[in-house]
Chain A
Amino acid sequence: AQSVAQPEDQVNVAEGNPLTVKCTYSVSGNPYLFWYVQYPNRGLQFLLKYITGDNLVKGSYGFEAEFNKSQTSFHLKKPSALVSDSALYFCAVRGLGGGFKTIFGAGTRLFVKA
């Protein structure tokens, strides 16, 4: 069975500092991993995905994510946080073991303080 864990309910970071939002996964076969962001009263927006290849994936708004197969992790990172990055971030996995349904983590709320 597929599962995704986001161990932190909330991450606080000062503007200009690097940020990391953690995600670990469990899936049968090759993982297809995604990060989405949700701003207040909005739907989710796609940030980036890992399918295969380079372990460092670059996405929208300066975000990147590092895939680590041995640690089954897919942490979201950004070198310099902005106040406007404050939002709810979801890690998600799609795997062939469970059909094509997407399983989302519980979400991590990111607060960036000016």
Chain B
Amino acid sequence: KAGVTQTPRYLIKTRGQQVTLSCSPISGHRSVSWYQQTPGQGLQFLFEYFSETQRNKGNFPGRFSGRQFSNSRSEMNVSTLELGDSALYLCASSLVEGAATEAFFGQGTRLTVV
């Protein structure tokens, strides 16, 4: 069974540009969540989707957005990139939405903003 797939693995962008990251969850998983990981801030929750609906959102500016498609694949978009957006962006999928459900993580997309 294939794991969570994130594309691309590495990305270099210039300040002011926008970027779209993609996540394909494990087959059958309907919940997808996104996290930003940086050395200084650790793992910060971005948002969580279930059945194409955003169920929860972290404390990030409106430049960060996401969506989930009918096949459960998800994308996140960051507009007007800032140097501080450089981070490892992790996607995780879960079989169901419940609180007791563990998450399965992709290897992440390493975004560097120059």
Decide if the interface of chain A is mainly helix, strand, loop or mixed: strand
Q: Known: A43-B108, A44-B92, A99-B56. Is A104-B99 also a contact (CB below 8 A)?
A: no
Cα–Cα, bound, A42→B9 (Å) = 11
Q: Are A49 and B92 in contact (CB under 8 A)?
A: no
Q: Are A46 and B104 in contact (CB under 8 A)?
A: yes
Q: Are B55 and A49 in contact (CB under 8 A)?
A: no
Q: List the A side residues contacting B103 at CB < 8 Å.
A: 44, 46, 102
Q: List the A side residues contacting B105 at CB < 8 Å.
A: 36, 43-45
B75 interface residue per 8 A CB criterion = no
Cα–Cα, bound, A69→B25 (Å) = 34
Using an 8 Å CB-CB cutoff, how does the interface string of B58-71 with A read, 1 for contact, 0 for none?
A: 10000000000000
Q: Known: A100-B55, A102-B33, A102-B45. Is A49-B108 also a contact (CB below 8 A)?
A: no
Cα–Cα, bound, A61→B36 (Å) = 27
Cα–Cα, bound, A99→B108 (Å) = 24
Chain B nearest Cβ from A76, distance in angstroms: 15
Q: Are A42 and B107 in contact (CB under 8 A)?
A: yes
Cα–Cα, bound, A97→B106 (Å) = 27
Give the bracket for the number of chain A residues in contact with chain B.
20 to 34
A87 interface residue per 8 A CB criterion = no
Give the bracket for the number of chain B residues in contact with chain A.
20 to 34
11 CB < 8 A contacts A-B: A43-B4, A43-B90, A43-B108, A44-B103, A46-B102, A46-B103, A101-B33, A104-B43, A104-B45, A106-B42, A107-B43
Binding site for B on A (CB under 8 A): 32, 34, 36, 41-46, 49, 51, 90, 94-96, 98-107
Binding site for A on B (CB under 8 A): 4, 33, 35, 42-43, 45, 48, 55-56, 58, 90, 92, 97-100, 102-108
**Additional 20 contacts, C-beta under 8 A, given A44-B92, A106-B42:** A32-B100, A41-B107, A43-B90, A43-B106, A43-B108, A44-B103, A45-B105, A46-B102, A49-B102, A96-B99, A100-B56, A100-B97, A100-B98, A101-B45, A101-B56, A102-B33, A103-B45, A104-B42, A105-B42, A107-B42
